[in-house]
Structure 1
Amino acid sequence: MFALLLASTGAHAATDSPSPIVRAQVLLDRANFSSGQIDGAAGSNLRQALLGFQRARGLPETGKPDAATLAALDDGEPVLATYTVTEADLAGPFEPVPEEMSEKAKMTALGYASVAEALAERFHASPALLRKLNRGKAIDQAGTQLVVPNVDAARALPKAASIVVDRSERTLSLLDGGGRVIAQMPSTTGSEHDPLPVGQWKVNGVARNPPFHYNPKLFWDARPGDSKATIPPGPNNPVGVVWIDLSIDHYGIHGTPEPGQIGKTQSHGCIRLTNWDAARVADAVGPGTPVVLQE
């Protein structure tokens, strides 16, 4: 099954030995306990992912990739794979993303700015890690064989019975009908200007690859003179590739154009995830799914 999966995505098992941190990040991603962007660096997102997995599996809660945790995470599949860059990967179009909303609104789409950014997001990695794993290789050339995180061997995620977002831990968790955590991921959850709306809500609906309707009146840091604008879809859209609408006006769970900032910066009140984690949540929930937002 694994060989068929790799063949279908153009990836093959790699023999390179990953660092212990990369190993933990990839295994956690595949177990649906994401640490966000796979970057090879220890930090708060990795610690929370490890704690969440350990808690869910009844392991000692060390927050570290200790031997017992790595053994429980080990699914028998390679941590790294090789991927051959295709002409389709290079087709783009790749364009710089402007900073101002008025300029974003003039774009036909907010796609990736570079091949490296597109491929890094495809494999849930930082562009810097992708370059580190492939020193001396031309990432933007068809036929190049890249070493990448083997995220395609992820475990299937069943439908979730509810969502819990925890502001203090900066996590979003998916629970089954018995209240057991089946997935966890880092999140950015509001700010002092737009605090997380603590309470019990529900999912109204899910929109994939949505446009973003910018209203400067809803943003405390809007630029003087800004006006309403419709920002075209794409992974670099302000809400990324998914908008999960909640039953409180103007609030939702969504993706981001800056995956490396998840769990480390502030938002305008919404719950922000990496694009791939937002897509994972969207697959597991639907209209009516209960959502608990807590401190």
Structure 2
Amino acid sequence: MFRPFSVARFAIALLLVSAAPAVAAGLDAAAINDVAAPPAKLPDRGQLNAFVARLEILLDRAHFSPGEIDGKLGDNAQKALRAFADANGLSFDKAVTPELWSGLTTASEGPAIVSYTIVDADVKGPFAKRIPARMESMKSLPALGYTSPREALAEKFHMSEALLQALNPGQKFDKAGETIAVANVVDAGKPPQVARVEVDKTRQALSTFDAAGKLLGFYPATVGSAEKPTPSGTLKVTAINKNPTYRYNPKYAFKGVRSKTPFTIRPGPNNPVGVVWINLSGEGYGIHGTPDPGKVSKAESHGCVRLTNWDAQRVAAGVAKGTPVAFIDSATSSATATR
């Protein structure tokens, strides 16, 4: 049955159609891979940009994590860039110098964007229909899985869903055997042993070091909150739990949680602590993943140290029981140690 299409609805539809290509204009695998030199000045914040996408991928591969790779120049990317520059005795202010760019491009090999063939494991699920906002509502779910293959694939390659979709227009990501463009960040090598971890409460970052004081990795983090600040001093790793069950203790009295009795939330990447929990010697404190990678260092935690799921896995792979974790501020940080 034909229904009249109002002028207003037509105008809105036309606006959406005309705006959609602009978001991804010039942003494809070739555009990102072909970036040969940095621009004279940094691109505008919040705008999808091929140079920024390649920059974030290079930083991730050098273990100076920009957090979620989204093709936009945000605080986390700039934080990682500054840390890389400091660690290598280079300068960074309002532009990426040729020396800094050269240091990044020579730190790893291969194109920034590669082709990936979706496999059965990527699409088989089970997927959650939705993840409730309230913790109390999560306790009844059988698992806290991904909500879609697109979310799972974006996290697998350290990307935002928006960037993954922009690189693969029209793709639904739900069929094994189809080829998509993804960030080239999968690192199968064995991580080096971490001798010490530093959590910079002012800088909102976590750094790992080897026994000689060499900086191994730098990661943006959400560190505590006014409601429940992180501790001071040095704690130690006491356990590493993969795919943890989250247990809520009502004595924590987290904002927005009304339950007066303990409850548990089953494992999964959308669990409140993500896919890994690094338990620390302080009561109730840990380093863990998150279901919201785009919010790392941009939203408060419940007193712990929150990383993206993939960064938490990198840290967990390098630490062991007894590894010291120092909580400091920027004035005493040694994160600028040489690599």
Same fold flag (TM > 0.5): yes
Does the Cα contact within 8 Å between 1:32 and 1:157 map onto a contact in 2?
A: no
Tell me whether 131-140 or 250-259 shows the greater mean CA deviation.
131-140
Is 2:296–2:307's contact at 8 Å kept on the other side of the alignment?
yes
1:88 corresponds to: 121
In our comparison, the structure showing a higher alpha carbon Rg is: 2
Does the aligned pair in 1 maintain the 2:57–2:184 contact within 8 Å?
yes
TM-superposed CA distance for 1:64, in Å, is: 4.7
| Residue of structure 1 aligned with 2:112, choices 37, 62, 79 | 79
Q: Which residue matches 1:57? A: 88
Superposition deviation, residue 53 in structure 1:
1.0
Q: What is the alpha-carbon distance in structure 1 between the residues aligned to residue 211 and residue 258 of structure 2? A: 47
Q: Aligned partners of 1:229, 1:205: CA distance in 2, in Å?
A: 21
SS at match of 1:172: strand
Of the three residues 228, 234, 255, the one matched with 1:194 is: 228
One-letter amino acid matched to 1:57: N
What residue in structure 2 maps to residue 211 of structure 1? Answer: 245
- State the 1:89 CA deviation: 1.4
1: CA distance, partners of 2:268 / 2:228: 25
Q: Deviations over 1:151-175 (max 9, x none)?
A: 0257753111100010111110001
Counterpart secondary structure, 1:72: helix
Counting only pairs closer than 5 Å after superposition, residues 1-295 of structure 1 correspond to structure 2 as: 16-18=30-32, 19-62=50-93, 64-74=95-105, 75-95=108-128, 96-153=130-187, 157-295=191-329
Say whether the 8 Å CA contact 2:134–2:256 is kept in structure 1: no
Amino acid across the alignment from 1:119: L
C-alpha displacement of 1:78: 0.7
C-alpha change, 1:213 and 1:273, in structure 2 (3 Å) is: same
Report sequence identity in percent: 44
Query: C-alpha root-mean-square deviation of aligned residues, in Å?
Result: 1.7
Structure 1 distance, partners of 2:254, 2:171, is 44
Structure 1's 182 and 62: CA in aligned 2 closer, same or farther, altered over 3 A? farther
Query: Could you say what secondary structure the match of 1:277 adopts?
Result: helix
State the TM-score, normalized to the length of structure 1.
0.91
One-letter code of the match for 2:295?
A: Q
Greater displacement, 140-149 / 266-275: 140-149
Please state whether the residue corresponding to 1:45 is helix, strand or coil: helix
- In the TM superposition, structure 1's runs of 4+ consecutive aligned residues that sit over 4 Å from their partners are 153-156
- Where does residue 9 of structure 1 map in the other structure? none
The answer as to whether partners of 2:135 and 2:257 remain within 8 angstroms in 1 is no
The Cα offsets for residues 32-62 of structure 1, whole Å up to 9 and x where unpaired, read as 1101000001011011101111111111243
TM-score (norm 2): 0.79
